């Protein structure tokens, strides 16, 4: 799990909810069904208008991946590649097949399988780069949806504010209805601002960062697997892959 995403989400909502709960009236005064329907219902409706249903179905997976999935570090990936390179040098490429059961990364496993199947190095590179590009496009689409949600939510908050003001102004002669109009006017803006700035926009930023990290690891894997297929020695592969690691941490990469 990515602890920073989880911690930031809990802290953000926790502090705001605590401030609400300790104020006059408690949390109850911040609950308004009509405002929720305008913001969250409206945001969902516009998302359906803007993106295909199949794409939207994958949004939750993208969000959960951003929150729960933890990537290996470049140093860890280099160590894994070197381990496979040593095995291939000692026992041959076919010996790598016995280690595939230990691999939970489908991208890395596919690359190793291509090597085992005897495809040329350039073919392995082409196939893996296509796979990496597809994954990058998937993350890009997920980020677009989160960015869209981050812009829709405040917009519907403003729409709800206008609806509440109209309702309030039309019922100035009846003081008992002014409160409901004001609640809709103010709470929709609150809901929209919270959803955008405490959920959608931060998740979009984290997804972009995660996509960049994953793209770096994918490129590292491609270079390493192609080097194994080309018959390069483990030490040469390690030195080549060190370029993916910050200079300050290169010395800790295992041989």
Q: What confidence tier does 250 reach under pLDDT thresholds 50, 70, 90?
A: low
pLDDT value, residue 255: 47
The residue ranges of every structural domain in the chain are 32-252
Provide the whole-model pTM: 0.81
State pLDDT tens for residues 62-106.
Answer: 777 666 777 788 888 899 999 999 998 988 888 888 888 778 888
From CA 98, how far away is CA 87, in angstroms rounded?
Answer: 11
Q: How far apart are CA 77 and CA 108, in angstroms?
A: 10
Write down the pLDDT at residue 251: 59
Residue 178, Cα to own-chain centre: how many angstroms? 42
User: Hey, is 192 helix, strand or coil?
Assistant: helix
By CB atoms closer than 10 A (0-12, 13-18, 19+), residue 188 is buried
Mean pLDDT of 207-221: 90
Total Cβ atoms within 10 A of residue 194:
18
pLDDT digits (tens, 9 = 90+) for 128-157: 999 999 888 888 888 999 999 999 999 999
pLDDT higher at 60 or 77: 77
């Amino acid at each position: 799990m990515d602890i920073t995403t989880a911690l930031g989400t809990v802290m953000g909502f926790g502090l705001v909810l605590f401030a609400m709960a300790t104020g006059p009236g408690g949390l109850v005064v911040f609950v308004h069904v009509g405002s929720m329907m305008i913001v969250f219902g409206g945001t969902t409706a516009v998302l359906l208008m803007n993106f295909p249903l199949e794409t939207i179905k994958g949004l939750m997976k993208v969000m959960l991946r951003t929150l729960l999935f933890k990537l290996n570090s470049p140093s860890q990936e280099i160590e894994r590649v070197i381990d496979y390179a040593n095995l291939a040098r000692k026992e041959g490429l076919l010996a790598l097949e016995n280690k595939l059961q230990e691999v939970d990364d489908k991208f890395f496993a596919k690359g190793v399988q291509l090597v085992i199947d005897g495809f040329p190095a350039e073919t392995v590179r082409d196939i893996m780069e296509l796979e990496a590009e597809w994954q990058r496009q998937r993350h890009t689409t997920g980020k677009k949806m989160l960015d869209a949600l981050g812009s829709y939510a405040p917009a519907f908050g403003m729409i709800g504010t206008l609806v509440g003001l109209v309702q309030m102004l039309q019922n100035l002669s009846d003081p008992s209805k002014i409160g409901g109009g004001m609640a809709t006017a103010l709470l929709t803006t609150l809901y929209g601002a919270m959803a955008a700035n405490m959920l959608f926009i931060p998740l979009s930023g984290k997804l972009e960062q995660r996509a960049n990290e994953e793209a770096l690891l994918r490129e590292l894997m491609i270079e390493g697997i192609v080097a194994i297929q080309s018959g390069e020695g483990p030490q040469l592969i390690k030195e080549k892959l060190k370029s993916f690691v910050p200079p300050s941490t290169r010395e800790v990469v295992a041989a």
